[in-house]
A and B are shown apart, each in its own frame.
Chain A
Amino acid sequence: MSLQEAKQAVIDDFSLYDEWLDKYEYLIELGRGLEPFDESHKTEDRLIKGCQSRVWLDWRLEDGKLWFTADSDAIITKGIISLLISVYSGRTPAEIAGDDFAFVGEIGLQENLSPTRVGGLRSMMDTIRKIAKQNA
């Protein structure tokens, strides 16, 4: 699946639900489905700054592609980071660094989160972009 297709898939999945409560239920499911995160990797340097709940993001570069894993102590936050990972994991650093992350706006998540949580979401996107630029 191309990056464009992966983003469209997320937008489509989200648009299946009319009620915001259902969209959140979907995020909770995504959060639950996230692959287990190594407890020993929950270190200060993997913590994303600026989130209300704690979010850890780890990555590895394999065959020129970035793979992300993440965890959070809040399940909805975990769902949100899982959504980002599902789109950007397995892409080249250049591809990620060159992306505008605008699809997040299209699912309407930002209008639905409080300003501090929007800040948290932005921090997650910035961290992914930063990692991509470091490796590009």
Chain B
Amino acid sequence: MSTVSDIRAQFPQLSEKVYGKPLVYLDNAATSLRPQSVVRLWEDLSLRHNANVFRAVHKFSSEATRFYEDARRAVAAHIGAASQREIVFTSGDTASLNLVARCFGAAFVGPGDEILVAQSEHHSNLVPWQMLCREKGAHLKCLPVDEKGRLCVEMLPQMLSPRTKLLCVADISNVLGLRNPVAEIVRIAHEKGCPVLLDGAQGIVHEKVDVQALDCDFYTFSGHKVYASPGTGVLYGKRKWLEAMPPLMGGGEMIENVAWESSTYAAPPHKFEAGTPNISGVPTLVPALEMARTLNSGEIAAQAGAVRDFVLDALLAFPGLRLFGLPERKSDKVPIFSFTVEGVHHEDLALLLDKMGIAVRSGQMCAEPLMTRFGVTGMLRASFAPYNTMAEAEYFVTSLKKAIDMLK
């Protein structure tokens, strides 16, 4: 079984220095670091096995197609999809969400309908729905979060109406880091006849996802947050929806037959993959998801749990620190910690931590409505991955204290 130090050796960036200090990378919720297996595959496909997928009969093209379609099978298996035909490749989570908004919206949303979106969503799972609602004359409704950052699931039955065409919620918010009770949410929504889209941008990193067990209608994520090549994304959709949705873009590979006047379209998933896809990037999802499974099991997962508990306890004990996303039980929290410190600006803290070698995020975290909800202009976010060690967590806590002392 792999240990944390075995794993760290596979992420060369973890040995980088910044201002002469070892890099402590705590901005994993923005993008993960990349393991050698991913970069080597990308390099090999680009330098030695480059060919376009699907069309040609030559050896390298069929190999490229095999790599690409193997990735589809691997993703389907990783998230427990019923069929690889339910996996659409996109350029990222934002593209996946926009695809659903455009295509599901075109087929199923009309004037007076409603889209229900959680208050804690990333802008990528909010703005596409605003655009759809404006275009269709539909209403955007907000499922609120309470003071602790918990989704107000008890309000869900009364908020869902026969006009609610889709409920959109992240399984884990990129700010709050709480595991939302998505199985319960899907059950309640389905009882009311409303399909559910789960934004899995953070969930795919920290959870063992099983879309069939969850029974969600859509599940979306980016490759780059889960160790794969940037520019890769996944949209899982139940077959019945993907079949009923019109394509987003017209062009190569999404067609069945083309005549001058009109065309017929390919079956899903290819219907949604017009143009040359990310042929070097998509196959990297295979080693990337393998890495995710390794990191979320055994000794490494146990260590990640200990790191989370340590940081959570330390932050809760900090005087003047307000943590957003307070879990009932520690296990409800993933190691994404967003907070403010009384009398200290989040940007100042981030700048000083940077000079100590620690990469964190500051600002609105692409979730302005949530900032408004909590009455803050921004937060500081430290987001850990399983390759972060307890020593790094301790250094972060010590450095945070030092930075606050400098600023107060």
User: Which positions in A face B, CB cutoff 8 Å?
Assistant: 19-21, 24-25, 28, 52-54, 73-77, 113, 117
Chain B residue at smallest Cβ distance from A53 = B347
Which residues of chain B have C-beta atoms less than 8 A from A20's C-beta? 19, 355
Chain B residue at smallest Cβ distance from A27 = B351
Measured in the bound complex, the distance between the Cα atoms of B240 and A19 in whole Å is 60
Measured in the bound complex, the distance between the Cα atoms of B355 and A25 in whole Å is 11
Which residues of chain B have C-beta atoms less than 8 A from A77's C-beta? 345, 347-348
Q: Are A25 and B406 in contact (CB under 8 A)?
A: yes
Which residues of chain A have C-beta atoms less than 8 A from B351's C-beta? 24, 76, 113, 117
The majority secondary structure among interface residues of chain A is helix
Q: Are A52 and B347 in contact (CB under 8 A)?
A: yes
Q: Are B356 and A53 in contact (CB under 8 A)?
A: no
Which residues of chain A have C-beta atoms less than 8 A from B355's C-beta? 19-21, 24
B363 at the interface (CB under 8 A from A): yes
Q: Which of A24, A54, A73, A117 contacts B352 (CB under 8 A)? A: A24
Q: Which of B19, B348, B356 contacts A75 (CB under 8 A)? A: B348
Q: Are A28 and B19 in contact (CB under 8 A)?
A: no
Which residues of chain B have C-beta atoms less than 8 A from A19's C-beta? 19, 355
Chain A residue at smallest Cβ distance from B363 = A52
Q: Are A53 and B407 in contact (CB under 8 A)?
A: no
Given contacts A21-B352, A52-B363, contact A76 B19 (CB under 8 A): no
Q: What distance in Å separates the Cβ of A28 from its nearest Cβ neighbour in chain B?
A: 6
Task: Report B354-408 residues with CB < 8 Å from chain A CB.
Answer: 355-356, 362-363, 377, 406-407
Measured in the bound complex, the distance between the Cα atoms of B406 and A24 in whole Å is 10
Measured in the bound complex, the distance between the Cα atoms of B352 and A74 in whole Å is 12
Measured in the bound complex, the distance between the Cα atoms of B357 and A19 in whole Å is 12
Measured in the bound complex, the distance between the Cα atoms of B362 and A113 in whole Å is 13
Q: What distance in Å separates the Cβ of B30 from its nearest Cβ neighbour in chain A?
A: 13
Q: Are B407 and A75 in contact (CB under 8 A)?
A: yes
Which residues of chain B have C-beta atoms less than 8 A from A24's C-beta? 351-352, 355, 406
Measured in the bound complex, the distance between the Cα atoms of B356 and A117 in whole Å is 18
